[in-house]
Amino acid sequence: MVVGDFPEERDTIVIGAGPGGYVAAIRAAQLGQKVTIIEKEYYGGVCLNVGCIPSKALITIGHRFEEARDSEHMGVKAKEVDLDFTKAQEWKGGVVNKLTTGVKGLLKKNKVEMVSGEAFFVDEHSLRVIHEDSAQTYTFNNVIIATGSRPIEIPGFKYGKRVLNSTGALALQEVPKKLVVIGGGYIGTELGGAFANLGTELTILEGGPEILPTYEKDMVSLVKRSLKKKNVEIVTKALAKSAEETEDGVKVTYEANGETHTIDADYVLVTVGRRPNTDEIGLEQLGVKVSERGLIEVDKQGRTNIPNVFAIGDIVPGVPLAHKASYEAKVAAEAIAGEKAENDYTVLPAVVFSDPELASVGMTEKEAKEKGIDVKASKFPLGGNGRALSLDAPEGFVRLVTRKEDGLVLGAQVAGINASDIISEIGLAIETGVTAEDIALTIHAHPSLGELTMEAAELALGRPIHI
């Protein structure tokens, strides 16, 4: 319950305490603002509680289990490898709790006032917070909306005991024997792949012609090959029609190639996208411009058409990524403080934690050519890297996209183990205007996966050593 006496006015109020909201609140406080953050459910948002973090923990559990069973070729033999999924879920929960507790600690350290409840706008300088059986009015000079998004529910697949969204899948207390995933994007591929590593018989139904459609074909082919080894069935151009819950499972009906098919499974996981949480906070009271999809229109600083109202993260145009929200959060807080900050998405990385991992940043070769830039794409295989071989992970590559005239790094695509880490060096290279020669002249530790970037740069220069 909200209790106590509150000053009438805050410098800045932040609505939502996810990766966008809590970062905005901390940065605003660091810049001298008096900040209140309002959260209706859990600190850390979807990402830390029921998204990014627990899903990566589940992926790690899957990898450990798979490695324990399948390392005989390295001379490691394990008999009767068992999975205590209850203990695995407890470990996952511990990771989440450590991070969410840390978020509250950081907010407290930066003297951010934390308020529980649901926020509803009254006008452009005030809002009401409702918590249980009480309500409190807050006034503010500026507000940052960071309310995030929620899973889309599609016709015929009402969420319930056997029809799950990503939150429900992560909360399962058993490993499904059979699982159907509807949607072959990054969430479906990640979670489906994690359960496949734990022994689940998996079917992925994708409405389009390809899973992971935002990644290049040679990257996706590696993931498909890995899934095939796990006996995963991928059905593309599939239209999911309905899910009928039975006594001990669910029957999924779909259409493909002009025919109707059914699959019996323990659960069905629906991962077809997310909807911005902008429909129940009273935006109509402000006159904030919102698109047909519910996305709030903002400028390069995250400012809406109402000068003191800002919006960040999943509720504004662009890809719904946690690191994008955190980046926009800092820009919005700095803009409120009068700094000349604005969003620039040139170096926004995208990662999918599949097997193997995929990551990209900057431009692809195709995108560069469409802009009339003469580029060179240099692809170095992980099979030529000593560290990748010693990790028993030779699948994948690092591809640098460089401008032919001067070797300026414009983009990169990485497929393979730790792609999510490797991509950061290349992102920094693009941000700082580095050339392939600069990377090649930088001494990289041996043996390391970091050498892959150096090798790709040497390939771009036409003088590779290990290929």
Instruction: Name the binding residues.
Output: 56, 147-149, 183-190, 206, 273, 314
Q: Which residues are annotated as a binding site for NAD(+)?
A: 183-190, 206, 273
Name all contacts of 341-348 with Cβ < 8 Å and 24+ positions apart.
341/301, 342/300, 342/301, 343/300, 343/301, 343/302, 344/300, 345/318, 346/430, 346/431, 347/427, 347/430, 347/431, 348/319, 348/321, 348/323, 348/324
| E strands in 306-423 | 309-311, 350-352, 358-362, 375-381, 397-403, 409-415
Rounded-to-integer distance, Cα 162 and Cα 175, Å: 13
Count of CB atoms within 10 A of residue 369's CB?
A: 14
Cα separation, 136 vs 424, whole angstroms:
44
Q: Are 263 and 252 in contact (CB under 8 A)?
A: yes
Annotated binding site for FAD: 56, 147-149, 314
CB within 8 A of 92, min separation 6: which ones? 54, 57, 58, 61, 170
Name residue 418's amino acid.
N
Which residues, other chains included, contact 251 with Cβ-Cβ below 8 Å and sequence gap of 6+? Answer: 243, 244, 262, 263, 264
Q: Per-residue DSSP letters for 94-128?
A: HHHHHHHHHHHHHHHHTT-EEEESEEEEEETTEEE
Residues 6 or more apart whose CB falls under 8 angstroms from that of 288 comprise 296, 304, 305, 306, 309, 311
Q: Annotated catalytic sites, by residue?
A: 446
For 13, the enclosing helix (H) or strand (E) is strand 9-15
Q: Give the span between the Cα atoms of 19 and 423, in whole angstroms.
A: 20
Give the integer Cα–Cα distance in Å for 40 and 117.
4
